Chains A and B, each alone.
Chain A
Amino acid sequence: MTTNLTTSKADKIDRLAELTARRETASGGSLWVEALRRLRSSKMALIGGGVMAVFIVLAVIGPWIAPHDPTAQLWRDEVRVNQSIFVGPRGDNWLGLDHLGRDQLSRMLVGARQTLLVGVVATLLGFVVGVLIGGLSGAALAFGGKAGRRVDTVLMRVIDMALALPSLLLAVSIAAVLGQSLTTVMIAVGVVQIPIFARLLRGSMLAQASADYVLAARALGVRRRRIVLGHVLPNSLGPVIVQTTLALATAIIEAAALSYLGLGNPDAAQPEWGVMLAQAQRFFDQAPMMAVYPALGIIITALGFTLLGEAMREALDPKLRS
């Protein structure tokens, strides 16, 4: 069962890599120009890009434009949880107050930064380590001869095992080992991304390595290092860049999930969308909007990133090309 799962997941990534890679050679140097043109005329990309831009801007300037201190319980007297009295939207607090009388809008704005930070750092971790492993593996297999094949086999077995584990389970185990903190969440979410990036780049590199222009470079007498770094790698990055956008969406959701499960920042007063969702859960029947705001934030952001990623993938697809 496990092996089946591994192969199917790994195969899917490999096929994606191969597909994207094949486009590159067939389409010539105008690939990116053309893809960009198609991207600009795509509604999906427009919406996704717009959402992403708004989110990033808010996340960056959020703490400065937040009308209140997100941890200050200034309106405690008005909120009486045991009497089911919550403060909804009003002039001074557009999104109302939470169960401790804190300004929801300020918490959303400041929390956005945390969420983005976790997403970006985790994806960066996954990208860097994944690209290193995938690049090494791909280069070793394609150009390293017998010893290289062995290196690749070992690396890929480890990667496949990581792929076979449900990602959330893996993240929870890592978080459990490292203890409760925001860094833990970043690492856990990032580690889960590693095998995907690694597999993708490796597959893409293998497809490129068997391309005729690589053979031509070998026939010319170009050195191996230059073939890998100058030919194979630059032509293999397309699918990896698309994946980065998609990975951000996943990372944001997973980071929220881990925080929701209580593995994030131990200081519960600090706003983070996943933590806010977890706290709101208890009062869902009395103040449903408390949960709706962070949930919507997570969903819309993840959707935006996914839309942009899918649009990028589509823009790179030759079958849709006129």
Chain B
Amino acid sequence: MSLLELDDVKVHFPVKRGVLFDRTVGHVYAVDGVSLSVTAGQTYGLVGESGCGKTTLGRAILRLNDITAGHVVFDGTDLAALPDEEMRRARRRLQMVFQDPLGSLNPRQNIESILAEGMAAHGIGADREERRTRILEILERVGLPATALSRYPHEFSGGQRQRIGIARALVLEPDLIICDEPVSALDVSIQAQVLNLLEELQDSLGLTYVVIAHDLAVVRHISDVIGVMYLGQLVEEAPSDVLYAEPRHPYTRALMSAVPVPDPDLEDSRERILLRGDLPSPANPPTGCRFHTRCPWRQAERCDTERPALTDIGGGHRVACHFAAEIADGTLEPVRELAPKLLGAETPAAEVPAEVPADAAAQREKGERGEKESTTP
């Protein structure tokens, strides 16, 4: 049963200019038509490179950003259509954990005041004592001592601050928590702890998560379903295992190739795709397939003009690429200039694209050794 349904959600930020009167001179198409569904009790992972609109989409769900068009249906109610006051009340059930643990805590509030604020706003707990009992319970749950109550955010470590942020969401007993890069500001050693805490809480409280991250490694073991975003749109979505086993969209494959694999043999042989060029501006997105300016498999005409729809290819796997099937079959040639040393090249060169064996896809299937190239999605 899906708890959250996004239907063609768009968030366009107007670009204003003008000395005396602001004139709208264009739009930043931060989120441009995203439809997805989050199942109750599961974790939906949202990945994509910086600036692709993940945060904007996450905030749009809570209506912290104005939604330009589309529907955000949470438990049967379209949040996009709610009056402000009702939306404010609805937020008890939808909470958010922020990327910057310190920045998201008011430096002048102590922990008790931070945690009690949401309760007061929603009339949870009759008096201070009752709220304190509840707060202490939650603090214990997230692994913070009771002495934390009277202390201030700057007195805690990064990991503890994020626990405070999680506790702040939990005191309201939400159904859905949107975690926007919940661990990217933390030390690597702390990241796993916080991710484990999130999973534990999900198991014991039956929470539903939307976890946003810019790399696949973080969302991999915590997500049930993963959606890949590019320039404000969803380009691929699949159950976590399926996406890792068979990434179908060229962009997902590029992203995937940037994730190191623990097994050294696999690490040497796996596919590496270097994306050329910068992320186009979301204020002026490419026509047709938004990825066509960087896609190694781009086919003239069709990719440049026709927007590929997100289509189900079976098993809950959705891809937005005209040639997903052909690429998977290996019948379509990647363009070398856009993906030099894609596979099977003998000389590890950095910048100059050298001549490479023709049938790269076939070679990969034979399990031949692929060549490395520094890759960044």
Q: Which of A1-37 contact B (CB under 8 A)?
A: 3, 24-25, 27-31
Q: Is A226 an interface residue (CB 8 A)?
A: yes
Residue contact A235 to B19, C-beta cutoff 8 Å: no
Q: Identify which of A25, A221, A234 contacts B121 (C-beta below 8 A).
A: A221
Q: From B91, which residue of chain A is reached at the shortest CB distance?
A: A221
Q: From A214, which residue of chain B is reached at the shortest CB distance?
A: B106
Residue contact B118 to A221, C-beta cutoff 8 Å: yes
Task: Give Cα A226–Cα B106 distance, bound, in whole angstroms.
Answer: 13
Residue contact A219 to B117, C-beta cutoff 8 Å: no
Task: Give Cα A22–Cα B12 distance, bound, in whole angstroms.
Answer: 27
Q: Is A223 an interface residue (CB 8 A)?
A: yes
Q: Which of B73-81, B92-100, B317-325 contacts A (4 or more CB under 8 A)?
A: B92-100
Q: From B65, which residue of chain A is reached at the shortest CB distance?
A: A215
- Chain B residues with Cβ below 8 Å from A267 are none
Q: Which of B105-145 contact A (CB under 8 A)?
A: 105-108, 117-118, 121-122
Residue contact A220 to B106, C-beta cutoff 8 Å: no
Task: Give Cα A153–Cα B18 distance, bound, in whole angstroms.
Answer: 12
Residue contact B154 to A219, C-beta cutoff 8 Å: no
A220 and B103 contact, Cβ closer than 8 Å, known pairs A28-B152, A29-B154, A234-B108: no
* Interface residues contributed by chain A, number (CB under 8 Å): 26
- Chain B residues with Cβ below 8 Å from A94 are none
Residue contact B172 to A220, C-beta cutoff 8 Å: yes
A29 and B153 contact, Cβ closer than 8 Å, known pairs A219-B91, A221-B92: yes
Distance between A261 CB and nearest chain B CB, rounded to angstroms: 35
Task: Give Cα A203–Cα B121 distance, bound, in whole angstroms.
Answer: 27
- Chain A residues with Cβ below 8 Å from B89 are 221
Residue contact B153 to A25, C-beta cutoff 8 Å: no
- Chain A residues with Cβ below 8 Å from B152 are 28-30
A220 and B168 contact, Cβ closer than 8 Å, known pairs A25-B107, A28-B107, A212-B98: yes
Residue contact A222 to B117, C-beta cutoff 8 Å: yes
Task: Give Cα A219–Cα B122 distance, bound, in whole angstroms.
Answer: 12
Task: Give Cα A166–Cα B194 distance, bound, in whole angstroms.
Answer: 57
Task: Give Cα A30–Cα B92 distance, bound, in whole angstroms.
Answer: 31
Q: From A24, which residue of chain B is reached at the shortest CB distance?
A: B107
Q: From B152, which residue of chain A is reached at the shortest CB distance?
A: A29
Residue contact A221 to B88, C-beta cutoff 8 Å: yes
Q: Is A231 an interface residue (CB 8 A)?
A: yes
- Chain B residues with Cβ below 8 Å from A153 are 21-22
- Chain B residues with Cβ below 8 Å from A220 are 91, 95, 117-118, 121, 168, 172
- Chain A residues with Cβ below 8 Å from B20 are 157
Q: Is A217 an interface residue (CB 8 A)?
A: yes
- Chain A residues with Cβ below 8 Å from B92 are 221
Distance between A153 CB and nearest chain B CB, rounded to angstroms: 8
Residue contact A219 to B62, C-beta cutoff 8 Å: yes
* Interface residues contributed by chain B, number (CB under 8 Å): 34
- Chain B residues with Cβ below 8 Å from A158 are none
Mark B14-26 against chain A: 1 for CB-CB distance below 8 A, else 0. 0000011110000
Q: Is A72 an interface residue (CB 8 A)?
A: no
Interface majority SS (helix, strand, loop, mixed), chain B? loop
Distance between A152 CB and nearest chain B CB, rounded to angstroms: 11
- Chain A residues with Cβ below 8 Å from B104 are 212-213, 215-216
Residue contact A217 to B117, C-beta cutoff 8 Å: yes
Q: Which of A142-170 contact B (CB under 8 A)?
A: 153, 157
Q: From B20, which residue of chain A is reached at the shortest CB distance?
A: A157
Distance between B168 CB and nearest chain A CB, rounded to angstroms: 7
Q: Which of A193-236 contact B (CB under 8 A)?
A: 211-213, 215-223, 226, 231, 234-235
Task: Give Cα A186–Cα B153 distance, bound, in whole angstroms.
Answer: 43
Q: Is B102 an interface residue (CB 8 A)?
A: yes
Task: Give Cα A218–Cα B89 distance, bound, in whole angstroms.
Answer: 11
Q: Which of B151-173 contact A (CB under 8 A)?
A: 152-154, 165, 168, 172
> Which has the most chain A C-beta neighbours within 10 Å: B106, B108, B121?
B106
Residue contact B122 to A216, C-beta cutoff 8 Å: no
Residue contact B106 to A217, C-beta cutoff 8 Å: yes
Q: Is B1 an interface residue (CB 8 A)?
A: no
Q: Is B188 an interface residue (CB 8 A)?
A: no
Q: Is B352 an interface residue (CB 8 A)?
A: no
Task: Give Cα A3–Cα B19 distance, bound, in whole angstroms.
Answer: 9
Task: Give Cα A27–Cα B108 distance, bound, in whole angstroms.
Answer: 10
> Which has the most chain B C-beta neighbours within 10 Å: A3, A220, A231?
A220
Q: Is B64 an interface residue (CB 8 A)?
A: yes
Residue contact B107 to A221, C-beta cutoff 8 Å: no
Residue contact B98 to A216, C-beta cutoff 8 Å: yes
Q: From A32, which residue of chain B is reached at the shortest CB distance?
A: B108
Interface pairs (29), CB distance under 8 Å:
A25-B107, A27-B154, A29-B152, A30-B154, A153-B21, A153-B22, A212-B99, A212-B104, A213-B107, A215-B98, A216-B98, A216-B105, A218-B64, A219-B91, A219-B96, A220-B91, A220-B95, A220-B117, A220-B118, A221-B90, A221-B91, A221-B121, A221-B172, A222-B118, A223-B88, A223-B121, A226-B121, A235-B107, A235-B108
Pick the 6 closest A-B CB pairs, nearest first. A28-B154, A221-B91, A29-B152, A220-B118, A212-B103, A212-B104
Supply 16 further A-B pairs (C-beta < 8 A) apart from A30-B154, A213-B107, A216-B165: A3-B19, A24-B107, A25-B103, A28-B102, A28-B153, A29-B154, A30-B152, A153-B22, A213-B103, A216-B96, A219-B91, A219-B96, A220-B91, A220-B95, A220-B172, A223-B88
